[in-house]
Chain A
């Protein structure tokens, strides 16, 4: 059974190179987490007291303004950050797609990058070799796969990363914003594959500012604000509260039916 349980988890970042003195006044702006100054090393409270249960079949949208803690929450859910306080319990095979500029080596070929990412996600070399053909077809990259990654456009990198994570049958897919860089045709293809994956026994958490992508991929949503969960509910409820208006209201009946929403 795939699930994620987070209890009273906090993530505090120590900022070693910041001058404590210049941060004497506790800065509490609209953007970014709280900056604590009680200790000698300033701390950014990126996530504060998060309690969250996600279950199999959940397709969760993460919304919130810049610096609200969306990416940090995704890293907490992936196990990259362990909570400074509280606990997190992750049950399932994780596949994250975060910032695409890092975590991939620009100097080596697309194929090599596929292999390395696959190995990182717990695949064996043989298993990955068997999947290369499928990934190559899905991503439509063809001969580009033999060229160094630095020759790829952003959209092509996204295709590659999505190709890898969707081919390895992960149980928990964590996507950060940035995958919106691909064209509409590929997005439609990717959507089918992602939704299919989640249906087969999985979970998806997707952080994005693009409503269209969220409609396509998610059914529930979490609104992050200043490192806290401000709201957790159905996608429509949360987006309505977050945007101040119902994003579904001007949609045609067909679209709504396709997205599985009712008026």
Chain B
């Protein structure tokens, strides 16, 4: 089958995706290589990912559970899972924006579908996510009795949570959905950032704020407790934040808190719109990336 380079068509963008996904061995290898590379010659290697997550989660958990007057037994798992998911999303945004820029050498020297580089980034982040899950497992083991209680509370006076049960498996499709979204983010942000080099800086500047605006270190029911029924508009701070819905579809099953289908609906909508935008960018600017890097 000859490869014809002419014009901007969706079929060539789809072909790029298809070939990219098919070269599983390539991006799988590259992603692993990235992790091994980062911790080369260090004694405990990639376990540093786990260790630094453990330290951060423990520190933030203790601090905020005191500040917000919450139960450490349920709040620490809440914060740990939120933080792990946040780290993955943060990676998709910041490293995703850098996807093509950091692969400049390879893009200019070896012909390959762009999707390979996006998947390399997402795969690397997924591997880090798995390393971080070890922290979750430890936290789960320690606070298991607190989490399986019926109607446990995240913060005093908050909404009662149903407790951990078999619905924990919902976290698996939730993560698959999250990774699928990470891929369009890497493609779309990657293409835009390659052309406009200010974008990675803008993303970097906004993520700090985004972290504190997203219910990660604070539970949503804290708002209702502080402000009572007049909290109407404050609830929207969380609801209008797309990242909140992504965190919630994974966090809620993992710590046995209230699951809601509206989070899945929002995430589903974002997946469709995001992929549509990414495909549009791929159609129009895929062939330009090698010129821009």
Q: Interface of A with B (CB < 8 Å)?
A: 3, 13-14, 16, 75, 78-84, 86-91, 94, 96, 98-99, 102-103, 105, 107-108, 112, 115-117, 119-122, 124-125
Contacts and interface: CB of A to CB of B under 8 A. Distances in A.
A98 B4 contact: no
A80 B33 CA distance: 24
A119 B5 contact: no
Contacts of B37: 105, 107-108
23 contacts: A16-B197, A16-B292, A75-B108, A80-B109, A81-B290, A82-B5, A82-B287, A82-B290, A87-B4, A89-B2, A89-B5, A91-B2, A99-B109, A103-B110, A107-B37, A112-B33, A115-B29, A116-B30, A116-B33, A119-B25, A120-B26, A125-B25, A125-B29
Classify the interface of chain B: helix, strand, loop or mixed: helix
A108 B83 CA distance: 32
A102 B105 contact: yes
A80 B290 CA distance: 7
A218 B4 CA distance: 26
Given A80-B290, A103-B108, 20 more contacts: A13-B291, A14-B291, A82-B5, A82-B287, A82-B290, A87-B5, A88-B5, A88-B6, A89-B3, A89-B5, A90-B2, A102-B105, A102-B109, A103-B105, A103-B106, A107-B37, A108-B37, A116-B29, A119-B29, A124-B25
Contacts of B30: 116
Contacts of B40: 107
Contacts of B111: 78-80, 94, 96
Contacts of A121: 110
Question: Sorted from nearest, which 3 A-B pairs have the closest CB atoms?
Answer: A103-B109, A87-B6, A102-B105
A109 B86 CA distance: 34
Contacts of A82: 5-6, 287, 290
B107 interface: yes
A3 B4 CA distance: 12
Given A13-B291, A119-B29, A102 B6 contact: no
Given A81-B290, A107-B37, A125-B29, A90 B109 contact: no
Contacts of B109: 80, 96, 98-99, 102-103
A89 B112 CA distance: 16
B87 interface: no
Interface of B: 2-6, 23, 25-26, 29-30, 33, 37, 40, 105-112, 197, 287, 290-292
Nearest to B25: A125
Nearest to A174: B111
A98 B105 CA distance: 11
A105 B34 CA distance: 11
B110 A90 contact: no
A97 B105 CA distance: 13
Nearest to A11: B291
A90 B3 contact: yes
A241 B7 CA distance: 36
A124 to B, nearest CB: 6
Contacts of B2: 3, 89-91
A105 B26 CA distance: 15
B103 to A, nearest CB: 10
B15 to A, nearest CB: 12
Contacts of B4: 87-90
B23 A119 contact: yes
B33 A83 contact: no
Contacts of A115: 29
Contacts of A83: 5-6
A149 B111 CA distance: 22
Contacts of A80: 107-111, 290
Contacts of B292: 14, 16
A227 to B, nearest CB: 15
A119 B6 contact: no
Contacts of A108: 33, 37
